[in-house]
Amino acid sequence: MIYLDYAATAPMSRAVADTMYEVLVNRFGNPSSQYSIGLEMKRQMESWRETVAAALGCDVKRVYFTACGTEGDNWAISAACWQNRHVGKHIVTTAVEHSAVLESCRWMERQGYEVTYLRPDQKGNIAAAQVLEAVRPETAAVSVMMVNNELGNVYPIAEIARGLGAKNPKTLLHTDAVQGFLEVPFSAEKLGADFVTISAHKIGGPKGCGALYIGPRVRNPRPLLAGGGQESGLRAGTEATAQIAGFAKAVELRREGLVQKLAGLAELRAYAVERLSAIPDMELIGDGGAPHILAAALAGWPSQNIVNDLGSQGICISAGSACHQGKPSHVVAALGLPKRTAGGVIRLSFGPETTRADLDECAAALRRHHDQRMPML
> Which pLDDT does position 327 carry in this prediction?
65
| Model confidence pLDDT, tens digit, residues 260-301 | 999 999 999 999 999 999 999 999 999 889 999 999 999 999
Q: Please give the CATH number for the structural domain made up of 14-255.
A: 3.40.640.10
- For residue 284, the tally of other CB atoms under 10 A from its CB is 15
Q: How far is Cα 375 from Cα 283, in angstroms, rounded to an integer?
A: 15
CATH architecture of 2-10+258-372: Alpha-Beta Complex (3.90)
> Which pLDDT does position 328 carry in this prediction?
74
- The set of residues, in sequence order, having a beta carbon less than 8 Å from that of 256 and lying 6+ positions away, is none
> Which pLDDT does position 321 carry in this prediction?
60
Q: How far is Cα 377 from Cα 214, in angstroms, rounded to an integer?
A: 46
Q: pTM for this one?
A: 0.96
Spell out the domain ranges in the chain: 2-10+258-372, 14-255
> Which pLDDT does position 377 carry in this prediction?
87
Greatest distance between any 2 Cα atoms in the chain: 68
> Which pLDDT does position 323 carry in this prediction?
54
**What parts of the chain have a pLDDT lower than 70?**
321-327
R_g over Cα of the chain: 21
> Which pLDDT does position 288 carry in this prediction?
86
| Model confidence pLDDT, tens digit, residues 81-114 | 999 999 999 999 999 999 999 999 999 999 999 9
- The set of residues, in sequence order, having a beta carbon less than 8 Å from that of 328 and lying 6+ positions away, is none
**Mind telling me the catalytic residues?**
323
CA-wise closest residue to 373 among 312, 328, 331, 325: 312
Q: How far is Cα 296 from Cα 275, in angstroms, rounded to an integer?
A: 12
Q: How far is Cα 105 from Cα 19, in angstroms, rounded to an integer?
A: 37
Q: Which amino acid is at 335?
A: L
Looking at residue 324, what DSSP letter applies? G
Chain centre to alpha carbon of residue 113: 25
Packing angle, helices 14-25 and 241-255, rounded to 10 = 150
Is 159 in contact with 173 (CB distance < 8 Å)?
no
Strand partners of residue 237? none
Q: How far is Cα 243 from Cα 317, in angstroms, rounded to an integer?
A: 26
Tally of helices (H runs) and strands (E runs) in the chain: 13, 12
Q: How far is Cα 81 from Cα 194, in angstroms, rounded to an integer?
A: 12
Q: Which amino acid is at 131?
A: V
**Taking the C-alpha atoms of 311, 314, 320 and 321 in order, what is their torsion angle to the nearest 10 degrees?**
110
Strand partners of residue 210? 66, 199
> Which pLDDT does position 207 carry in this prediction?
98
